[in-house]
Amino acid sequence: MNKQLTAVIAVCSILAAGGLSAQSAGEGTLETRISLGGESVTISRAGTYALSGRLSGGQVLIDAGKNDRVHLILNGVYIENPQGAALYAKKAAEITITLADGTDNALIDGKNYVFPGGDDEAKAALFVKNNLTINGGGILRVQGNYKNGIHAKDMLTITGGVIRVNAVEEALQGGDGVFISGGMFDLIAGNDGIKSSGADTGKGVITLSGGNFSIQAGQDGIQAENTLIISGGSYHTVTGGGAANAAKVNNRPGGDWGARGWNRNPGITPGAAVSPDSGSMKAFKAGRELTVNGGTFTVDAEDDAFHSNGNLTVKRGTCAIRTGDDAFHADNNLRIEGGDINILACYEGLEGKNIVISGGNTGIVSRDDAINAASGSADGSAAIPGGGRSGVNAVTSAVCVRITGGTVSILAGGDGVDANGDVFLEGGRLYISGPSQGMEGAIEFDGRFVVSGGALITAGSSLNPASQSTQPVLLVSYTVPCGSGSVIAVKDRAGRTLLEYTARTGFTASAFSSPEFKSGETYGVYLDGKKVIDSVLRGMVTAMSDNGGAYTLRGGGRGWR
């Protein structure tokens, strides 16, 4: 045996109390190997320790100095502590856990903790008072029966491994922040899947740049008190009971990992029940800033899919979303700069005080408004949940929808685009299937609708664009209601198609605009290949019926104003 290794192992001694105290000779590449065998283990110095074996009814306690760094290599361990955390680091500055390649490791805590000496901070099967890093290529299974699964009071960093957590409350929590750049995650949580709760400046930050995530959360999927930044990774997230459960009360799913591989380790209880809760059940939530720079997202959320109490920006990414409320919600600015966004079901698709769409491909199917710009009331109170009007909302350019690029395709049960302030179409392509009657329309606004660029075609009514528009708009009403599936087109005098769209709902009016429109020119409007009218554009707004009469909405609409 190597003399150095012999010297290191020699410093290990069995305590009179019956536990094993393992001390390394100091930090470095040399390992102290500890074979678990039924006794609690205390690590009291900095160093590298390789753990293997089974410990039932005990704990691995790291009681090193506050400035020490301890590296644990989990090499096939099963640790179950019915009276507290399975692995607990009391004060060491840095804890690194490496999951050895090809190994299967499990940490399980009890439903009720016993806190010796009044130390009651531990609240997770794996609990670290300072910083925790997890890496490697092995598997780590964590059952958080008391509260959380994995919890670091300061920074939680994960760069690899297969992490499977089933927790009564949070699955993963970093008080100051969470940083994840890789790994595979299977998380079931009664409360939040991943959480950072630090409220101070620079804390409460979650940064995700890679990894494969499956999250089932009773409350929020991923929740950052201040900032959430997602730059990569794959996310399959279910919150609450999913979108279909939005109208139900106290009906939350329990976990069942039997079909997902959990029962391959017979020492783990499959599926902690997810407790009912009427709180936030959003998929991705930030208190100040939420930025999506990339990633693939499949969301089934009872509440909002992406939510920020401040600003929300989407630059890249691929999304398939079903939600019981908003797909993307920002209390302040909501910006869609790119990405492929497919909102399959929602109450409202995009909601914010100021909504700017400058790129990407966005498809929205909504029960109410697809895009809604809303602010608080005139006295500064919060906006009405769901984006409804209070009757006292101030009309201001700060509350607006602005489309400068990208493609937006809408099927709306309420308004297609609705602004308590202004709507600006400056570029891109906007296709809307929405109502033409009642108080709903394809485009509604309390301020102005200014068109200066972009392509617009609607199966549904629009209020009159403003005189400040610099690109002509044609409004047409139909004497006979048109059915879903009708192909609407606009052609120039040479028969060249400028605009074309297949309606996804019945309609009695349309709005058209194209960068190729010129005042004084004649354009033909076609339905299913048959010309219904020729129209000469006169000025920036031309409105008429398909029989040559006045533009008139049927079924109680507000008409042209």
200-214 pLDDT, tens digit each: 888 999 999 999 999
**528 contact partners, CB below 8 Å, separation of at least 6:** 486, 487
**Residue tagged 């909601």 (tokens):** 351
Tokens matching residue 292: 């999506």
For residues 238 and 242, give the distance between their C-alpha atoms in angstroms, rounded to a whole number: 6
Listed range (46-55, 260-269, 406-415) with the worst mean pLDDT:
260-269
Q: Say whether pLDDT at 440 is over 80.
A: no
The pLDDT assigned to 435 comes to: 82
Number of H helices, E strands in the chain: 1, 49
Q: What is the model's pTM?
A: 0.87
Chain centroid to Cα 150, Å, comes to 21
The pLDDT assigned to 557 comes to: 39
Highest mean pLDDT among 91-95, 139-143, 379-383: 139-143
The pLDDT assigned to 513 comes to: 98
The pLDDT assigned to 554 comes to: 59
Instruction: Report whether 348 contacts 335 (CB < 8 A).
Output: no
Q: How far is CA 8 from CA 28, 171, 324, in A?
A: 12, 36, 59
Q: Comparing C-alpha atoms, which of 157, 193, 158, 192 is closest to residue 177?
A: 157
- Average pLDDT of the chain to the nearest whole number: 85
| 497-502 sheet: strands from edge to edge | 497-502, 487-491, 522-527, 530-536
Q: Say whether pLDDT at 16 is over 70.
A: no
Burial 193-218 (b: 16+ CB within 10 A, else e): bbbbbbeeeebbbbbbbbbebbbbbb
pLDDT over 90 percentage in the chain: 76
The pLDDT assigned to 247 comes to: 58
Q: Say whether pLDDT at 61 is over 80.
A: yes
The pLDDT assigned to 436 comes to: 72
Q: Kindly state the DSSP code that residue 462 receives in the 8-state scheme.
A: B
Q: How far is CA 395 from CA 353, 373, 377, 402, in A?
A: 11, 11, 10, 15
100-142 pLDDT, tens digit each: 999 999 999 999 998 877 677 899 999 999 999 999 999 999 9
**385 contact partners, CB below 8 Å, separation of at least 6:** none
Q: Say whether pLDDT at 473 is over 80.
A: yes
**169 contact partners, CB below 8 Å, separation of at least 6:** 144, 147, 148, 189, 190, 191, 192
Query: 29: number of CA atoms within 13 Å, CB side?
Result: 0
Q: Say whether pLDDT at 62 is over 60.
A: yes
For residues 102 and 3, give the distance between their C-alpha atoms in angstroms, rounded to a whole number: 29
User: Which tops the pLDDT comparison, 15 or 447?
Assistant: 447
Listed range (66-80, 196-210, 212-226, 329-343) with the worst mean pLDDT:
196-210
Q: Kindly state the DSSP code that residue 5 receives in the 8-state scheme.
A: H
First to last CA, the chain: 92
